[in-house]
Each structure stands twice: as C-alpha cells, then as structure tokens.
Structure 1
Amino acid sequence: MGDVVAFPSRPEPLWREAVGHELREERRTAERTLADVASDAGVSTQYLSEIERGLKEPSSEVLGAVVGALGLRLVDLTTRVSRRLTRISGPVALAA
C-alpha cells in the first residue's frame, strides 16, 4: 500500500525524435548538407529537416531512401536508435 513509483523527470523520447537525431548525426558526420541528402533520397529539404528534428514520422519507404542516401541500411539505423533509447531509458524488455 505504501509503494512509491518513481517517474523519470524527462519523458522518454519518441521514436521519431531518436530517428531524427541519428539521421542528423550521420549526415553531419558525413559533412553533407540537408539539400544534398534530400536530393539523393528524393524528398524535399524541408521534409528532411522536419524528420531530423523529430517533427515528422516518415514512412518506411522514405526512411529507407534517406538511410540509403546516407550509405546506411535500415538495420543500421534501427540498431543506433535502439542503443540511444537504451542509454536514455535503461534496458528494454522486448518479450514478456
């Protein structure tokens, strides 16, 4: 009856925010511009910017095009995002 539940002071980031962060980091590491990557991916510069800022949730097709334009695979991005979320919120149980 006296159990205390601790809540994190910051909510866990949304998947789209973590994806955007990883995409932006990869683009900057590669020293590429938004316009360059957007052009290679076949999306607008504004849309890619919104994805990177975590404002838009891209379809799997768009995500595939963007990671491809960055020379990555979807599994690479997924692994990076999972690691990032684990660092922020602790281990994740995928099965009960």
Structure 2
Amino acid sequence: MTDQAPNEARVIPLRPGSTRPTSARPATPAAPPRTGPRPAEPLWRDLVGDVLRRERLAQERTLKDVADAARISMPYLSEVERGRKEASSEVLAAAARALGLGLGDLLAQAQGELVRLTSRHPGAHGRTSTSSSYNGLCLAA
C-alpha cells in the first residue's frame, strides 16, 4: 500500500524566519537524564509573608487589627502574608511596626528562614551549604 503517509511528524518552527526544512535538521543528542527535580528556592515575598503571619498569629491578633494599626488595607495585608504581593519597604515597615517589630527584625527573620531552607538543598555547584560565610542581609531595588 503506497497511499499511506510517511512516518514523519510535521515540525512547525516557533521562531519566524527559520527557513531550514525540517528534514535537513541534524538529530539533536538526547539530554542527559535528570537526577530529580531541583527544588525551587523560596521567594523573598513568601518568606516575609510567612514571618508576618507567624508573628501576627503568635500575638493572637486578627488581620484587621494589624492592618488597621499599620494603616494598610486588610485585603492587601492578606495578600502580602500569602506571598501574592511584593510589598514596598514602607508597607513592610508599617506592618512590622504594627506587630512591634522593626523593619530590620522582620528582614532578619526572613533571612534566617532563607538560610535555614536553602542550607538543606545542594547549592548551585552541587555541594550542600551548612553555614553562611556572610551573616548579613543585602536588598537591591
């Protein structure tokens, strides 16, 4: 039976301007097998939100109480606590003050969480970090 289609898939290039025919493309070597999914590093906004929520709950305060004291909206503070919003330093300072913390205290606790979480996973060069040679905090805008 010669009416059957050849056993080839039609490839549509994603980038415009690619004029090479698909049959002329060399076969690409197989990618090396993965050893497992690399855990994603935690986001700073998630860490800061976790610290804010943990501190608020430890003080047995409501979201409304802290939002009112910080003079920010309750829905916005909720979004910050859940890591959905990247809050400005002014908002973080106001939320920290409402909880009786300084901005430095809030950021230091978040940095401690970051070190704790990332020291359990292999670093970028395949080695596990057990301690930080730099015990400070650096933020860039």
Task: Write the distance in 2 (CA, Å) between the matches of 1:10 and 1:43.
Answer: 34
Matches within 5 A, 1:14-93: 14-90=43-119, 91-92=131-132
Q: Kindly, what percent of the aligned residue pairs are identical?
A: 50
Q: How many residues align?
A: 91
Q: Distance in 1 between matches of 2:107 and 2:79?
A: 19
- Name the aligned partner's letter for residue 26 of structure 1: E
Q: Which runs of 5+ in 2 are unaligned?
A: 1-33, 120-130, 135-141
Aligned 1:6-17 pairs, distance under 5 A: 9-17=38-46
Q: TM-score, normalised by structure 1?
A: 0.85
Aligned-partner Cα distance in 2 for 1:20–1:51: 6
CA root-mean-square deviation: 2.1
Q: Structure 1: which 4+ aligned runs deviate by more than 4 Å?
A: 5-8, 91-94
Whose helix fraction is larger, Structure 1's or Structure 2's?
Answer: 1
Query: Larger radius of gyration, structure 1 or 2?
Result: 2
